[in-house]
């Protein structure tokens, strides 16, 4: 089963309801956090025309780190407000624009 990546708070709420109906123990914050990481990963995959780099949370789950196929860190995205949850909640389109810029810098720097 493929779960679509929520792109705004309405889609987050719908996914939260659907997943809770399915018996999952999930919070709105977990859905947003997964959506943020999955969005950056999808943009990297699109830019590289395949899954070559991995997007991972840092140890405190504050920043997103990008690792190449050899496991070397090649980039990072930091929240523009306090957290990515705040960034997504306040302006999901702005976060997407920021991620597009990050991806362009990472891919263009090779």
Rounded CA-CA distance 59/103 in Å is 21
Closest by CA to 89, choosing from 13, 4, 2, is: 13
Q: Looking at residue 32, what is its pLDDT?
A: 98
pLDDT classification of 110: cutoffs 50, 70, 90: confident
Domain residue ranges in the chain = 9-99
Sign for the CA dihedral angle at 68, 62, 109, 94 comes to positive
pLDDT in tens, 29-83: 999 999 999 999 999 999 999 999 999 999 888 999 999 999 999 999 999 999 9
29 touches 16 (CB < 8 A): no
User: Alpha carbon 71 to chain centroid distance?
Assistant: 19
Is the confidence at residue 2, as pLDDT, over 50?
no
pTM for this prediction: 0.92
> Tokens 């997964």 — which residue?
34
């Amino acid at each position: 089963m493929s779960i679509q990546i929520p792109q705004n708070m309405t889609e987050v709420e719908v996914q939260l309801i659907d997943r809770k109906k399915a018996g999952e123990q999930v919070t709105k914050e977990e859905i947003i956090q997964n959506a943020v990481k999955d969005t950056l990963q999808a943009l990297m995959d699109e830019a590289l025309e395949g899954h070559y780099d991995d997007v991972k949370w840092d140890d405190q789950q504050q920043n997103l780190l990008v690792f190449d196929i050899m496991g070397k860190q090649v980039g990072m995205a930091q929240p523009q407000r306090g957290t990515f949850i705040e960034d997504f909640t306040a302006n999901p389109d702005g976060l997407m624009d920021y991620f597009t810029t990050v991806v362009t810098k990472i891919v263009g720097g090779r």
